[in-house]
Amino acid sequence: MQRRTFIKKSGVAIAGLVTIPSFSFLQDAPSGLVFDAMGEIRTIYTMDLIDQILASGTRAIAITLTDPKYDGHPSFDLLLRDLADYDKYFYDHSSHFIQATRLSDIDRAVKEKKLAIFYLIQSSEPIEKDLSRVDTLYNLGLRSVQLTYNSRNYVGDGCYERTDAGISNFGIELIDRLNTKNMLIDLSHAGMKTMKESIEASKKPVIISHSTCRALYQHPRNTTDENLKLLANRGGVMGMCQMRTFMTKEKTNNLEIYFDHIDHAVKVAGIDHVAIGSDRDHRVIPDTEEEIKILLAEEGAQFKPTDWPLYLEKLNGPRRMDVIRENLIKRKYTQSQIDKIMGANLYRLYNEVIG
């Protein structure tokens, strides 16, 4: 599918907010589409759990392949193994899933009441400095590449680096190759200078698939208003992450804080540039010592026991999208605005970049 030319126009997010550029396309999103910009689907999930996710209206999810904490060649080998495992899982459960590589797969998932799965990696480490791997991974179904994880790599600096040197020369080359291959560039976990320079270097809109607002809560994983505005002006989208520790120290009665972050992102970036990117396991996560041990084993030094629980209590489960929709209504968003946040903005972005 050829890249579609986008048309800038003026648009207002919600009543009383600033007017900023917005973007419209030849093809509109299916009515009521729910699309998670970055959510977990694990190969141990039962179809009963997937049925609950589908019941919330969710029809598309971008999922992370491989552990982004691995460096160099081992990360490439692990990615190939994960690709094979996920390919088999989705093939074996084709009654529920569509392995998605293009926009029309979302349309088919809506029609067939299935879940369209897009593959992404949360670090460019598996590519190392071999740009030919971009072509290889594209042919294997990968459609989105997050440039950095938490630390420095060949491309640029992650959000936990002591200094943020910005995008590297190789990073510019990788961005150009990803643009050429119609692959979506993800800037979650990037340092703010690396993020800014990457947005500016890309010839196509990019995504910050899972983050929240630094203006409301100072956390390295959150995005500044400056970069939110830049992202929007270039046609990009930010998925609003549901990781509690990025938004608040409050461990209970904290749901409203999530919607405060959505409101702020809409005010800064505009209604056409905000989405949902849960960054969360879609099952109900039990509040147990065993679950904390699993988290610490998976995440290493990134979290500590006192960070538990990572989830927002009201968004802990497969029907979380119902909760989000209901609370956007309470926040006085219109149906059109809710549709954009829940899926249409991501559909537009995938239309423009992936085709």
**Is-cis flag, bond preceding 309, omega within 30?**
yes
The 3-state secondary structure of the chain reads CCCCCCEEEEEECCCCCCEEEEEECCCCCCCCCEEECCCECCCCCCHHHHHHHHHCCEEEEEEECCCCCCCHHHHHHHHHHHHHHHHHHHHHCCCCEEECCCHHHHHHHHHHCCEEEEEEECCCHHHCCCCHHHHHHHHCCEEEEECCCCCCCCCCCECCCCCCCCCCHHHHHHHHHHHHCCCEEECCCECHHHHHHHHHHCCCCCEEEEECECCCCCCCCCECHHHHHHHHHCCCEEEECCEHHHCCCCCCCCHHHHHHHHHHHHHHHCHHHEEECCCCECCCCCCCHHHHHHHHHHHHHHCCHHHCCCECHHHCCCCHHHHHHHHHHHCCCCHHHHHHHHHHHHHHHHHHHCC
Phi, psi torsion values for 249, nearest 5 degrees: -90, -10
The amino acid at residue 125 is E
Q: How far is CA 247 from CA 301, 318, 354, in A?
A: 19, 21, 31
Q: How far is CA 128 from CA 79, 87, 124, 237, in A?
A: 12, 23, 7, 26
pLDDT at 299: 67
332: how many CB neighbours lie within 10 A of its CB?
9
pLDDT at 13: 38
The amino acid at residue 55 is A
Residue 256's closest CA among 322, 328, 335?
328
pTM over 0.85: yes
User: pLDDT tens digits for the chain (355 residues)?
Assistant: 333 333 333 333 333 343 344 444 447 889 899 999 999 999 999 999 999 999 999 999 999 998 888 888 899 999 999 999 999 999 999 999 999 999 999 999 999 999 999 999 999 999 999 999 999 999 999 999 999 999 999 999 999 999 999 999 999 999 999 999 999 999 999 999 999 999 999 999 999 999 999 999 999 999 999 999 999 999 999 999 999 999 999 999 999 999 999 999 999 999 999 999 999 888 888 888 887 777 777 766 677 778 788 889 999 999 999 999 999 999 999 999 999 999 999 999 999 999 9
pLDDT at 24: 44
Dihedral of CA atoms 230, 236, 237, 238 in degrees, nearest 10, equals -40
Is the Cα torsion angle 249, 255, 260, 263 positive or negative in sign?
Answer: positive
Query: Which CATH topology does 7-353 take?
Result: TIM Barrel (3.20.20)
Distance CA 164, CA 189 (A): 12
pLDDT at 301: 61
Query: Could you state, in order of their start, the residue ranges of all structural domains in the chain?
Result: 7-353
Is the Cα torsion angle 298, 301, 306, 307 positive or negative in sign?
Answer: negative
pLDDT at 187: 98
